[in-house]
Amino acid sequence: MSEEKESCCVSRRSLLGSGAKIATLTGLAGLGGGMVAGLGGASLIGEARAAEGSADVAPGKIDEYYGFWSGGHSGEVRIVGLPSMRELMRIPVFNRCSATGWGQTNESLKILSEGLTPETKASLAKRGLVTFDQGDTHHPRPSYTDGTYDGRYLFINDKSNTRIARIRLDIMKTDKVIEIPNSHSIHGLRNQRYPKTGYVFCCGEHRIPVPNTGINLTNPKEYVSIYTAVDGDTMKVAWQVMVSGNLDNTDADYAGKYTAATCYNSEEGVTVGEMTASPEDHAVIFNIAAIEAAVKAGKAQKIAGVDVLDGRKAAKSDFTRYIPIPNSPHGCNASPDGKYVMLNGKLSPTVSVVEWAKLDELFAGKITEKQCIVAQPEIGLGPLHTTFDGRGNAYTSVFLDSQIVKWNIADAIKQRSGEKVNPIRQKIDVHYQVGHTNASMAETKEADGKWLVALCKFSKDRFLNVGPLKPENDQLIDISGDQMKLVHDGATFAEPHDAVIVHRSKIKPLDVYKRTDPLFDDLKAMAKADGVDLEADNKVIRDGNKVRVYMTSVAPAFGITDFTVKAGNEVTVVVTNLDNMSDLAHGFTMVGHGVCIEIGPQASASVTFVADRPGVHWYYCQWFCHALHMEMSGRMLVEA
C-alpha cells in the first residue's frame, strides 16, 4: 500500500515537473477537504514543497524566524524554526520537566512558588506541595519597545492556575511566575507596545465572587471577571479593573493609549444556553491614562493588596467603554499599521473592525460605541483570530469552515460605507478546524508578510495513525505572493493555541551563561556562608541533619567522585559547570532518588533530597558531553 503510494508520487513528479502546475494542484487538493481529498492533498503538498524549495531549510542551514509556540496544556513553550517548522527547543514553564529538572531544582522551585498568593501556598502546603506541576498555556508574547520586539522577554499565561510567567530570551528560561490575585483563569494575554512593555495585560476569563472566600456562591449576578495589568519589569500587579461579561482575548494599540478585550457571556449566565442566549456581546475598551489617573485619585479599592477599579457596564466609568459586538467575539488583534483592532465573531460570521483613533472621540462623548466600528466584513463560519501581512491585508482563521480567509482592510471599510466592493481576496482550506493563525512579525510595526501559520485543532488523516489521541496540525502557508500557498504540515502535541513568529535579528540568545547572572545569586550567598567558592571548591559541608555537597563539573568528571552521608540526611547537591563552551551542558542524576537536573555551561544548579536508603547510590551525568560521558559519575555512600 505504502509502496504503491510512493510510486504514485514519483510518477506525479515526473509528470508535472513545473512548480506552477504543482502549486495549482495543491490549491485544488486543498479545496476538497474531507478524508480522501485530505490524503491526496498531503502527498501533493509534499511535491510542491520539494519543487519550490521555499520552505526547505537544507541541513546545516539556519531558519530565518523564531516561532514561539504555546505548548497548550503541556504547560511549556516550544521554539520552532521557520520556515522549516523544526522544533528547536522546549522551555519548561508551568510543567515539571524530567530532562532539565525544572520543577525539581531549588532554583526553579523558588521561581514557581514565590509568586503564588498566600491562600494558594497554604492550600498546596496542606498537600505537601510548594507549587503546581501543570499549566495550560495559550498566548506567548514577546516584549516590545516602540512597536517591535526588543528581545528581552516572552510572557505567557496559565489559564488553569491563573498565573503568568516571564521567560528570559537571552537564556530561554523562565525567570518569574506569578499568580494573579482576585482573578480566575487567565486566558487572553498581550503586551503594551508603546513606549515599551511596560504592562502585560491579562484577561481573567471566568467570573467569580471577589473576594472568592465563600460569599455569593450561588449568586452569579454578583460574580465578576477582572482585567489585570502586570508591570512586566517587576512582575507585580499594577492595577485591576472589574468588567462585565467573560473576558476572552485582548490586544493593545501602538500608541500606548488603549487596549481592547473581547467578552462573551454578556448575559452573565453559567450554562452554555444562558451564555449564548443574546445575539450581542461586547468588546471592552480600556483607557490606560484614565485608569492610571483613577488609581492615583484613590478611586480603587484594595483587594488582596491590589488596586481594583470598577469598570463594569453599570458603573459607567470614565475609563471603560463597551462596544457591542455580535455573538460571543473571541480573537482580538491589532493591525500592524497601528490603526485598527479586529474583533473576531466566533458565533457570528463577521469580523468587527474598530478604529483606535475613534476612541478619543468616544471617550469625549462625541460619538457612540457603534460608530467606532468602521468595517464588519462577512468572513465565513466561526472566525476566531486575525493576522496581517503589513500590505493592508488581514487573514482570519475560520474554525467551522476550516479555512484561512484573506481579506483587504481598506476594501472592507469601503464596503461598510456602501461601496460595492468585495474585500475577500482568497480562501484556503486548512486541515482541520483552525484556531489561531499568525504571520511573520505581524504583531509589530515591522509585519513582513512572508509566512503564516494556521494552528489546526484536528489532524485526523494527515499523519500516520498514532492511536485515538491525534496530534494537532500546525500548517505553514506562504503569503508572500498574491495567493496563499500551503507548504507544510507540522504535527504538534497538545495543544498550541497560539504562536508568534519573530525575525531572528530580534533575538540574541547567549551560548554560555554569565557567572554574574543573578540566577546564581542565591547559590553564591549560600556557598559564601559555607566558606565555599562555587567556581573552585569541591567540598562537603555538614550542618546537623543537613549535608551540602558542592561540586564542579568539567567534562568528563565531577569534582567529587564520592561522598558519605547518614541515612535520613537531607542532601543538597550544588553543581557548577566550569566548561566554558557552547553546547556543553552536564547533568546530575542520582539513581533511585528521582533526581535529574541540567547544568548549562557556566551555570550552577542545585537539588535537595532525602538520602534515606542505606547503600551505594551512583550519580551520573545524563547529558552526553564527552567521549567518556559514561564514566562521568560518582558514588553517594549512605551509612545505615
Q: How far is the CB of 351 from ligand CUA (least distance, A)?
A: 53
313 binds ligand CUA, rule: CB under 6 A: no
Q: Which is nearer to ligand K7E, 499 or 638 (CB)?
A: 499
Q: Which does 624 bind (CB under 5 to 8 A by kind): ligand CUA, ligand K7E, none?
A: ligand CUA
Q: Considering only residues 311, 390, 435, 496, which one is a binding residue for ligand K7E as defined by CB under 6 A?
A: 435
588 binds ligand CUA, rule: CB under 6 A: no
Q: Considering only residues 291, 621, 636, 638, which one is a binding residue for ligand CUA as defined by CB under 6 A?
A: 621
Phi then psi for residue 114, to 5 deg, are -70, -25
- Angle of the 2-16 helix axis to the 34-52 helix axis, nearest 10: 50
Phi then psi for residue 123, to 5 deg, are -65, -40
Q: Which is nearer to ligand CUA, 442 or 625 (CB)?
A: 625
Q: How far is the CB of 346 from ligand K7E (least distance, A)?
A: 9
Q: How far is the CB of 455 from ligand K7E (least distance, A)?
A: 7
450 binds ligand K7E, rule: CB under 6 A: no
575 binds ligand CUA, rule: CB under 6 A: no
Closest-CA residue to 327 (of 364, 381, 363, 285):
381
b (16+ CB within 10 A) / e for 213-241: eeeeeeebeebbbbbbbbebeebebbbbb
597 binds ligand CUA, rule: CB under 6 A: no
Closest-CA residue to 187 (of 211, 157, 219, 228):
157
Q: How far is CA 554 from the centre of its chain?
A: 35
Q: Residue 73 has what DSSP assignment? A: G
625 binds ligand CUA, rule: CB under 6 A: yes
Q: Which is nearer to ligand CUA, 254 or 623 (CB)?
A: 623
Q: How far is the CB of 497 from ligand K7E (least distance, A)?
A: 3
330 binds ligand K7E, rule: CB under 6 A: yes
d(CA 516, CA 599) in angstroms, rounded, equals 16
Q: Which does 330 bind (CB under 5 to 8 A by kind): ligand K7E, ligand CUA, none?
A: ligand K7E
Q: Which is nearer to ligand CUA, 66 or 623 (CB)?
A: 623
SS3 283: strand
Q: Which is nearer to ligand CUA, 346 or 586 (CB)?
A: 586
How many residues can be counted in the chain?
Answer: 640
Q: Which is nearer to ligand CUA, 406 or 586 (CB)?
A: 586
**What residues are paired with 402 via a beta bridge?**
none
555 binds ligand CUA, rule: CB under 6 A: yes
Q: Which does 555 bind (CB under 5 to 8 A by kind): ligand CUA, ligand K7E, none?
A: ligand CUA
Number of chain positions touching ligand CUA (CB under 6 A): 9
SS3 472: strand
623 binds ligand CUA, rule: CB under 6 A: yes
Q: Which stretch binds ligand CUA (CB under 6 A): 271-279, 421-429, 610-618, 621-629?
A: 621-629
257 binds ligand K7E, rule: CB under 6 A: no
Proportion of the chain in helix, strand, coil states, percent, rounded to 5: 20, 40, 40
Report CA-CA distances (Å) from 531 to 346, 514, 534: 62, 22, 9
Q: How far is the CB of 538 from ligand CUA (least distance, A)?
A: 15
Nearest residue to ligand K7E on Cβ basis: 435
Q: Which is nearer to ligand K7E, 385 or 450 (CB)?
A: 385
Cis peptide before 198 (omega within 30 of 0): yes
Report CA-CA distances (Å) from 194 to 191, 200, 388, 442: 9, 12, 19, 16
Q: Considering only residues 384, 398, 585, 625, which one is a binding residue for ligand K7E as defined by CB under 6 A?
A: 384
SS3 7: helix
Q: For residue 109, give the C-alpha cell.
A: 522551585
**CA atoms within 13 Å, Cβ hemisphere of 188:** 32
Q: Which is nearer to ligand K7E, 41 or 331 (CB)?
A: 331
Binding mask 132-171 for ligand CUA (x = CB under 6 A): ----------------------------------------
d(CA 221, CA 254) in angstroms, rounded, equals 35
Q: Residue 632 has what DSSP assignment? A: -
Q: Which is nearer to ligand K7E, 55 or 247 (CB)?
A: 247
- Angle of the 34-52 helix axis to the 19-32 helix axis, nearest 10: 160
Q: For residue 431, give the C-alpha cell.
A: 486541515
**What residues are paired with 23 via a beta bridge?**
none
632 binds ligand CUA, rule: CB under 6 A: yes
Interactions with ligand K7E, residue window 479-508 (CB under 6 A) = 497-498
- The bridge status of strand 246-252 relative to strand 236-243 is unpaired
Q: Which is nearer to ligand K7E, 349 or 435 (CB)?
A: 435
Report CA-CA distances (Å) from 553 to 352, 549, 564, 588: 58, 13, 19, 10
Q: How far is the CB of 158 from ligand K7E (least distance, A)?
A: 12
SS3 10: helix
Q: Residue 379 has what DSSP assignment? A: -
Phi then psi for residue 475, to 5 deg, are -100, 145
List of residues 6+ apart from 503 with CB closer than 8 A: 64, 65, 66, 149, 440, 441, 446, 448
554 binds ligand CUA, rule: CB under 6 A: no
Q: What CA dihedral angle connects 312, 318, 324 and 329, to 10 degrees?
A: -60
Q: How far is the CB of 330 from ligand K7E (least distance, A)?
A: 6
138 binds ligand K7E, rule: CB under 6 A: yes
Q: How far is the CB of 579 from ligand CUA (least distance, A)?
A: 8
Q: Which does 138 bind (CB under 5 to 8 A by kind): ligand K7E, ligand CUA, none?
A: ligand K7E
Q: How far is the CB of 549 from ligand CUA (least distance, A)?
A: 17
Binding mask 154-193 for ligand K7E (x = CB under 6 A): ---------------------------------x------
Positions touching ligand CUA (CB under 6 A) are 555-556, 586, 621, 623-625, 629, 632
Q: What residue ranges bind ligand K7E (CB under 6 A)? A: 138-139, 187, 249, 330-331, 384-385, 435-436, 497-498
